[in-house]
């Protein structure tokens, strides 16, 4: 059996207490890589031990296999569990045994129609949802599905207490970001990402990996099958063993690829929407982000995939599409909520994340805290740049103050004392007058051609 860490046991206790208080839906939030499957398995064991039946579902078959392994390790009696993909459950509702508890993993998908169908069918059955990031591009919350949220420790805490690996992000844009266009879902369209990927020189991807992560077991995230295959070929052309896999790759071949990757026979694993969730390869110490996204969920799942803890491990995240510029670093403290929110929180006035301002070192491309005067990785000195920025800000501030002072002086004059159209304009601005007032005053003074 698993020996749960204290924070994992606290999640188990928190979830059970929330259900005992009468909540029909409880959302458990714990960072990617923090061991949600262990918590899920322990809750299932306790439920079955008391004579209950557990229904577990998730959206991908690979995750079903993973949770079955976790249940077995935790001595859960599988004869009292139904473990399936969400699609299979939705199509078998009338023949499946009625559960005493529903458990949903990756429950940021809970608003989907198939999930709703199951929840409505078992409306009297309590449910637990598990996720690393309760966030949807639509901005729609989860309050109607889960009435209370139980949160685990922050990513910073998990790193400091050796439950996740520390990391360095190397970030710079390889493609032309102006080619990216958002579609109806809120994320970038496939067509615009195709155009974006054409602006990337494949050799630069390989060069950056050799520079920052040579020899590391690496997962590369791409947006399309064709691009992923091209990237894998670019690595092979450089003599580096790389393969591609996607959801349409035959299951037996996918299993073989993952087995070879875990054994180290494959160094680079390129994929499309396949290995962002539920992949447990602790010695994978690098990810390369080549899939630009507006989704915080995708960013965290992909960037943190290399942060599974191992002693002395330091993860490397190579973000070559600028995702970190939108969302911050993976250890940013996000303020999760069950309520609805704006579609793009990183662009809204409301602050949804706490984290230091960041910048990219022009010498080594490491993403570091903006307050650093020297780069902690390569020693680059930012002093001259900081002085230039301060001087520019001082000049801008001085110009603003001078303009405000000038407007204040104009506003104290009488209208008859205004001597030109510029002063009329400043006076109207100070008083809140419309543009027509300026036109009328100028015309009365004969300053406009009749």
- Flag whether pLDDT at 54 surpasses 50: yes
- Flag whether pLDDT at 439 surpasses 80: no
Q: How far is CA 18 from CA 28, 43, 126, in A?
A: 10, 13, 11
The β-bridge partners of 219 are 269, 287
Pick from 256, 254, 350, 353: nearest CA to 300 = 353
Q: How far apart are CA 385 and CA 373, in angstroms?
A: 9
Q: What is the pLDDT of residues 126-143, one digit of tens each?
A: 999 999 999 988 889 999
Give pLDDT, residue 203: 87
- 8 A C-beta contact, residue 191 and residue 270: no
- Residue with more model confidence, 66 or 28: 28
Give pLDDT, residue 1: 86
Token pair 């909520």 is found at 337
Pick from 303, 266, 308, 307: nearest CA to 288 = 303
Rounded percentage of the chain residues whose pLDDT exceeds 70 = 90
Give pLDDT, residue 408: 64
- List the domains of the chain with CATH numbers: 6-154 (3.40.50.300), 159-330 (3.40.50.300), 384-444 (no CATH)
**In the predicted model, what is the mean pLDDT of the chain?**
88
- Flag whether pLDDT at 318 surpasses 90: yes
Give pLDDT, residue 390: 57
- pTM of model > 0.85: no
Range name among 43-52, 122-131, 276-285, 331-340 with the lowest pLDDT average = 276-285
Q: How far apart are CA 402 and CA 408, in angstroms?
A: 10
The pLDDT confidence band at residue 44, using thresholds 50, 70 and 90, is very high
Give pLDDT, residue 400: 47
Q: What is the pLDDT of residues 334-366, one digit of tens each?
A: 889 999 887 654 444 333 566 678 888 888 889
**Token duo for residue 10:** 């606290």
Give pLDDT, residue 354: 64
């Amino acid at each position: 059996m698993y020996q749960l860490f204290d924070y994992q046991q606290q999640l188990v206790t928190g979830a059970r207490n929330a259900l005992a208080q009468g909540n029909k839906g409880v959302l458990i939030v714990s960072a990617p890589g923090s061991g949600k499957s262990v918590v899920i398995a322990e809750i299932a064991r306790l439920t079955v031990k008391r004579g209950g039946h557990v229904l577990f579902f998730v959206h991908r078959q690979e995750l079903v296999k993973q949770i079955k392994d976790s249940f077995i390790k935790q001595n859960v009696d599988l004869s009292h569990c139904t473990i399936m993909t969400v699609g299979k459950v939705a199509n078998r509702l009338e023949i499946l045994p009625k559960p005493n508890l529903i458990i949903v993993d990756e429950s940021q998908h809970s608003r989907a129609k198939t999930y709703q169908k199951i929840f409505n069918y078992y409306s009297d059955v309590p449910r637990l949802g598990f996720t690393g990031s309760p966030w949807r591009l639509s901005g729609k919350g989860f309050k109607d599905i889960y009435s209370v949220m139980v949160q685990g420790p922050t990513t910073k805490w998990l790193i400091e207490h050796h439950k996740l690996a520390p990391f360095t992000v190397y970030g710079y844009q390889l493609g032309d970001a102006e080619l990216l266009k958002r579609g109806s879902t809120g994320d970038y369209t496939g067509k615009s990402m195709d155009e974006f990927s054409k602006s990337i020189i494949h050799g630069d991807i390989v060069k950056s990996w050799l520079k920052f992560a040579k020899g590391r077991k690496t997962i590369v995230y791409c947006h399309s099958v064709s691009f992923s295959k091209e990237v894998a070929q670019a690595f092979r052309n450089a003599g580096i063993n790389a393969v591609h896999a996607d959801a349409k790759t035959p299951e037996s071949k996918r299993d073989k690829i993952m087995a070879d990757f875990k054994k180290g026979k494959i160094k680079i694993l390129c994929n499309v929407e396949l290995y962002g969730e539920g992949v447990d390869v602790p010695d994978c110490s690098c990810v390369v982000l080549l899939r630009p996204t507006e989704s915080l969920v995708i960013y965290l799942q992909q960037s943190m995939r290399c942060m599974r803890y191992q002693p002395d491990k330091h993860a490397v995240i190579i973000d070559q599409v600028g995702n970190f510029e939108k969302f911050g670093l993976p250890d940013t403290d996000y303020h999760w909520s069950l309520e609805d929110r704006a579609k793009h929180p990183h662009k809204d006035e409301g602050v949804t994340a706490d984290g230091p301002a960041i910048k990219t070192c022009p010498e080594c491309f490491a993403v570091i805290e903006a307050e650093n005067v020297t780069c902690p990785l390569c020693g680059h000195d930012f002093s001259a740049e900081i002085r230039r920025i301060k001087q520019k800000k001082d000049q801008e501030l001085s110009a603003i103050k001078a303009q405000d002072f000038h407007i204040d002086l104009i506003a104290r004059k009488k209208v008859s004392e205004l001597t030109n159209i510029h002063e009329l304009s400043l006076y109207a601005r100070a008083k809140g007058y419309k543009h027509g007032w300026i036109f009328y005053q100028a015309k009365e003074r004969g300053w406009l051609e009749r």
